[in-house]
Amino acid sequence: MGNQLEQYVAVVGEAVVDQLHRLAKPLKGLRVVHVNSTRQGGGVAEILHWLTPLKRELGLEVSWEVVAGESSFYQCTKKMHNALQGNREDIHPALLRVYEETNARNFERLEDTLTHADIVFIHDPQPAPLLSLCPQRKGKWIWRCHIDASHPYRPVWRYLQRFVEAFDASIYSLPRFAQPMRHPLYIIPPSIDPLSEKNIDLTANEIEKATANYGIDIRRPVICQISRFDWFKDPVGVINAYRLAKGFGPPLQLILAGGTATDDPEGEEVLSAVQKAAEEDPDIHILLLPPDAPRTINALQRMADIVLQKSLKEGFGLTVAEAMWKGKPVIGGDVGGIRIQVVNHFTGFLVNTPEGAALRIRYLLTHKDRLHEMGERARAFILENYLLTRHLRDYLSVILALQSGGRDRITLN
């Protein structure tokens, strides 16, 4: 602790870390509060676990608060989450009452902190009503929506809009996720941590060990897809692509690795469909990984020649950035956030069918120079755009912009 940021200098260079210090200089002592609904599990908590200490290190006074409630509160917010993603989820008025009452109870505890904060980030819908409960607030409030809300279920969105419209700004991960509102709509894509267990450099020895553990033949080409066993990730389509490509000769091996989310009842069903589709092919390795296996995922991505993320629907798809960071070209589905990470023909290929994926696998395996060139470009692309230092810079920039009254050009003294 204390100089965590310095550790990133070796990865991103001194100029990038210097820039963070300069941006943060006018913000020293600013009271910033983040509010979400859980301290453990899920992408939001993961971000706040690194963002909070790094902002503190830059001199901001940051606190992280969590709203808590009974199971009916989470039942309601889970429905909201699904509805924002487009599912037709009608929420019973009694549940909405629980939602508002839970926020009111949490506000009693947080009133002092929230009223005196200079900047408040409210993450996702769970704590959204807190703003309406805080008329004496002195700072700027920002709604940070991590969800793909591009096609929300309207009745639920209209209900939530009453709360979020009143914020000073909102932040989305992609332009298409943003809902038009009267306040500024900022875009901050997510990022990966190059020093985390999932992304840190591994020794050749460690990768070889993992290869041996899973019975992978290092002399033959390997393709892999790391993702939950979920229909939208199209694991069966990946098997089809592998078969089509292998039919042309290359002695391919396929790794399909991932977990099934505990809150996903379909996971088991998808996994059995995948096992059935594999037909006990010894070159298809289906690995059901525990949630705490980041180093294994790291090794699997590194041992692959090509990484696939053949999703049919995707939010942002950070596994793509993870693979690219390891210098791998990615063959990805032409959907969601994959489109802005995989620059078609430059850092990988965007495909729409198993046939398209098979064609690109064959191409890359027969053009090794192109494979390496794309892999190098992919890593450089992530270095410039999707590491957590950029993410942190974006957060600081949004705070500065709001502090400066929304001018197009803000000059810091």
Partner 1 sequence: MNPFLVTDCALIVMATGEKAVNIREMTDRIRRMDDPGIMYFHFWDCLLRPAFIDPEYQNDFASWVYHQLHDRRLAERLAILNPGVFSTMDQLRHKLIEIIEDRMDEPGFDQHIESDSPFFFMRSQIIVFDTQVRLESPETMGAYIRDMALGSVFYHFIDARRRTDSGKNDFTEWLWGWGDPYTTLAGELSEIDPYFKSLLEIREQLATVFARHLKEDVSHG
Choose between 94 and 412: whose C-beta lies nearer to partner 1: 412
How far out from the chain centre does Cα 386 lie? 10
Q: Which residue, 217 or 376, is less far from partner 1 as judged by CB?
A: 376
Rank residues 69 and 329 by Cβ distance to partner 1 and give the closer one. Answer: 329
Q: For partner 1, which is the closer residue by CB, 300 or 324?
A: 324
Look at residue 33 and give its three-state secondary structure. strand
Q: Is the Cβ of residue 175 or residue 247 nearer to partner 1 in the bound state?
A: 175
Q: Give CA 228 to chain center in angstroms.
A: 14
**Between 254 and 335, CB nearer to partner 1:** 335
Q: Which is nearer to partner 1, 191 or 260 (CB)?
A: 191
Residues of the shown chain interacting with partner 1 in the complex, contacts defined by CB under 8 A:
13-16, 18-19, 22-23, 172, 175-176, 178-181, 184-189, 339-341, 343, 346, 380-381, 384-386, 393-394, 396-398, 400-401, 406-413
For residue 73, the SS3 value is helix
- Give min distance, CB of 9 to partner 1, in A: 12
**C-alpha distances out from residue 78 to 85, 87, 117, 318, 369, Å:** 11, 11, 28, 22, 47
Q: Minimum distance between the CB of residue 385 and partner 1, rounded to whole angstroms?
A: 4
The SS3 assignment for 89 reads: coil
* Paired residues of 309 in beta bridges: 332
**Cβ of residue 215: shortest distance to partner 1, in angstroms?**
38
Q: Helix or strand or coil: residue 344?
A: strand
* CB of 23 or CB of 35, closer to partner 1: 23
Kindly write down the DSSP assignment for every residue of 35-71, as one continuous string: EES-SSSSHHHHHHHHHHHHHHHTT-EEEEEE----H
Q: How far is the CB of 122 from partner 1 (least distance, A)?
A: 18
In the complex with partner 1, the residue whose CB is nearer, 182 or 219, is: 182
Work out how close the CB of 388 gets to partner 1 at its nearest, in angstroms, rounded to a whole number: 15
Cα distances from 202 to residues 168, 195, 231, 258, in angstroms, run 43, 11, 31, 20
Q: Which helix (H) or strand (E) holds 349?
A: strand 348-351
Residues 6+ positions from 2 with CB-CB distance below 8 Å: 57
Cα 46 to Cα 36, 52, 385: the distances in Å are 11, 10, 19
- For residue 191, the minimal CB distance to partner 1 (Å) is 11
CB of 359 to partner 1, least distance (A): 19
Nearer to partner 1, 179 or 353 (CB): 179
CA distance 229 to 258: 6
- Distance in angstroms (rounded) separating the CA atoms of residues 410 and 402: 10
Smallest separation (angstroms) from partner 1 to the CB of 184 = 6
Cβ 383 to partner 1 shortest distance, Å: 9
Q: Which of 182, 147, 158 is nearest to 315 (CA)?
A: 147
Min. distance of Cβ 408 from partner 1 in angstroms?
Answer: 5
The nearest distance, CB 337 to partner 1, in angstroms, is 11
Long-range own/partner contacts, residues 263-271 (CB < 8 A, 24 or more apart): 263/78, 264/228, 264/230, 266/230, 266/231, 267/228, 267/229, 267/230, 270/229, 270/230, 270/231, 270/235, 271/229
Q: Which is nearer to partner 1, 95 or 178 (CB)?
A: 178
To the nearest 10°, the Cα dihedral for 163, 168, 173, 174?
A: 100
